[in-house]
Amino acid sequence: MTGTAPAPHDVVWRPPLDGTTNVERFMAAHGITSFDDLLARSVDAPEWFWAAVVDFLRLPFAQRWDQVLDTSDGVPWARWFVGGRTNLASICVERWADETPGATAVVWEGEDGEVRELTYAALRDEVRAMAGVLRGHGVGHGDTVGIFLPMVPETVVACMAIAALGAVFLPLFSGYGPEAIAVRLDDAGAKALVTADGFLRRGQVVPMLDTARAAAGLAPALETVVVVRRLRRLAGDRAGAIDRAGAIDRAGDAAGAADPTGWPCAVVEHHAGPTTAADAVAHHAVAHDAVAHDAVAHDAGPTTAPVAIPPVPVDAEHPLFIAYTSGTTGRPKGSVHVHGGLSVKLAEEVAFQFDVRPGDRLFWFADFGWIMGPWEIIGGLANGATVCLYEGAPDWPAPDRLWAYLERHRVTVLGISPTLIRAVMARGADPVRAHDLSALRILGSTGEPWNLDPWRWYFEVVGGGRCPVINISGGTEVGACFLSPHPVQELTPLTLGGPALGMAVDVYGDDGRPVRDEVGELVCTKPWPGMTRGLWKAPERYLETYWSRWPGVWVHGDWASIEGGRWYLHGRSDDTIKVAGKRLGPAEVESALVSHPAVLEAAAVGMPDDVKGEALWCFVVVTAGTVVDDALRAELAGVVAAQLGRSFTPAAVKVVDALPKTRSAKVLRRAIRATALGTDPGDLSSLEDPAAIDAIRSAR
């Protein structure tokens, strides 16, 4: 990077305001002359705003609603588009297959370089065929179906096909083990599971079907497993068996076994497996043998191709999917989302926050088991854009893999996490600058708070200083975003801009009153269409978790501040460190630490202290060749003290080989703290690399 570095409050990007963005066109259609006026009106008159969004984006409802918003059962149980009927598959697939059948709906690249594309017409055919497969195996209205897949085209097909039937899909993180999958399948009462024979990551085969079968043995309600031939029939005419070493044999049987389903990408198994953990382990071994020899078992079910099934209109409040989140204690929480409200909210923010429209290519580096996976698929397709998917690691087999992908597929809107940027920037700017990223026009981010240097690197190196960074914040239970800049606003580094359209968000102090220029709780004081309709089978837990602190106010669990009219996040409130009564967000500490040239990544946690209540402990990953000694630890502690004040001098600085993170690159600070304390770290099912926990235990 060259030139004078921008300070956190310097304006670094100004919108052209040429009338071409979706937001400007919406404003013009309603005679609104400023974004501030639009924001105020969207919050003050939500019924007007959300109905206007449906009409502006031409989102199809088979039956118009009688009432936009009904809070007669209380704000936590708000209902939207009451009496209306629609279907996610109609909004995202059928409409565009009719209007632009030849436009590209999905483009996918495997880690081995294989590329597949589906037009909207082809996607409609695949979705209808998959719906027929599921219907032929007993899946119907209201049934729950797990989706345990990597980011492949069939992931898009599966969620749309399940929605088309009026069934409920259950996204499952592709890195889960059998027990984590089984807990969620069992809690949701899943009747079927869609999985793959495997996928590639860092050049190795991940035996997904083995894991799925072991999980199926622990989920008594499960009846059917649909297996996508990701490895064996990668592109239909290029096939290979998986050998015992886990390699792909391209000389394998190209035709593949006859498929009784009528859907060319899958085989189907009926599940009648074990129900005990011991039996599941044995079943897991048998399953590995089966897939190793390409002997995927077929059921004795239908042998003729099922009828292609178009989407059935369902009530706008009909459940669409259950998204599970992990907590520090107890079972995972299942957030329930519905066809009408979630579809409208995601379509709106992908259109208005990221300015996506037909012809755009949207790529968010995400797993389907993270809310940003469904967000990308639903929001992109609802706006007639191309959804871009990638299977593998961003830096394999070379450091430039991610940037080469963006160039090859002419991605126009990119989404990534701050943690991933911190990791890839350690390789320098050359891998990025070796590729033509001129198609990019919008950069997105979410998942963690930023610190200044990685944000600048993303803005200047990846975006060339010309693309706005749309830094959003929401959550699985939110279904979308609370906070977001919009591409009609000036941007400063790190900021989340302000409230997303239609979102009545604020920052409250401990007394339940709004605060400015200080850190407080992020809250929302009115309902929104994308909000969860409760937690699956746990209504009291839902009320206790989000609505119990202040009447009618959603407390999200994030620390935020409003400074000079701009909004900033400071991490999860349960990650907050309180040293001698002074509250400190971990992001502030971590930003100070990564400013040191030897530090690649950092995590800060509070540890019990008899004198101060909590003491600050820091865990850092350092560059190769760094000498780790007491002098380095003292130097890093001094950096924190110099930037944040002597009272926040770390009590300990620990050097580790890796930080425990989810596949979506969120640092699991509560797991770090619990491991350092020697207590139960809670649910670790979303952890990408279990060895990272061992790294915390062996910290130097």
Q: What is the DSSP string of 38-84?
A: HHHHHHH-HHHHHHHHHHHHT---SB--SEEEE-TT-GGG-EEEET-
Q: Are the CB atoms for 524 and 499 separated by under 8 Å?
A: no
- Look up residue 82 and give its two tokens: 């009451």
Write the CB contacts of 313 (distance below 8 Å, at least 6 apart in sequence).
62, 63, 85, 86, 87, 90
Write the CB contacts of 489 (distance below 8 Å, at least 6 apart in sequence).
15, 35, 497
The predicted pLDDT at position 553 comes to 97
Residue 522: HSE in the Cβ half-sphere, 13 Å Cα cutoff = 26
Q: Are the CB atoms for 228 and 235 separated by under 8 Å?
A: no
Rounded to a whole number, what is the largest CA-CA distance in the chain? 74
The predicted pLDDT at position 240 comes to 31
The predicted pLDDT at position 612 comes to 75
| CA–CA dist 251, 213 (Å, integer) | 27
pLDDT tens for residues 207-249? 999 999 999 999 999 999 999 999 864 434 333 322 222 322 2
| CA–CA dist 207, 199 (Å, integer) | 7
Residues of the chain with pLDDT under 70: 1-8, 232-306, 326-330, 574, 580-583, 663-665
Q: How far is CA 108 from CA 151, 249, 256, 324, in A?
A: 8, 21, 22, 26
Q: How far is CA 485 from CA 181, 324, 448, 494, in A?
A: 36, 27, 16, 11
Domains detected in the chain: 22-85+317-571 (3.40.50.12780), 121-312 (3.40.50.980), 576-697 (3.30.300.30)
Q: Are the CB atoms for 422 and 594 separated by under 8 Å?
A: yes
The closest of 153, 25, 159 to 87, measured between CA atoms, is: 159
The predicted pLDDT at position 266 comes to 58
Q: Are the CB atoms for 468 and 442 separated by under 8 Å?
A: yes
Q: Are the CB atoms for 105 and 120 separated by under 8 Å?
A: yes
| CA–CA dist 426, 578 (Å, integer) | 31
Amino acid at 223: E
- SS3 of residue 193 by DSSP: strand
pTM metric for this prediction:
0.82
**Residue count of the chain:** 700
Q: What is the sign, positive or negative, of the torsion defined by CA atoms of 133, 122, 322, 683?
A: positive
| CA–CA dist 215, 171 (Å, integer) | 15
Amino acid at 376: E
| CA–CA dist 491, 567 (Å, integer) | 11
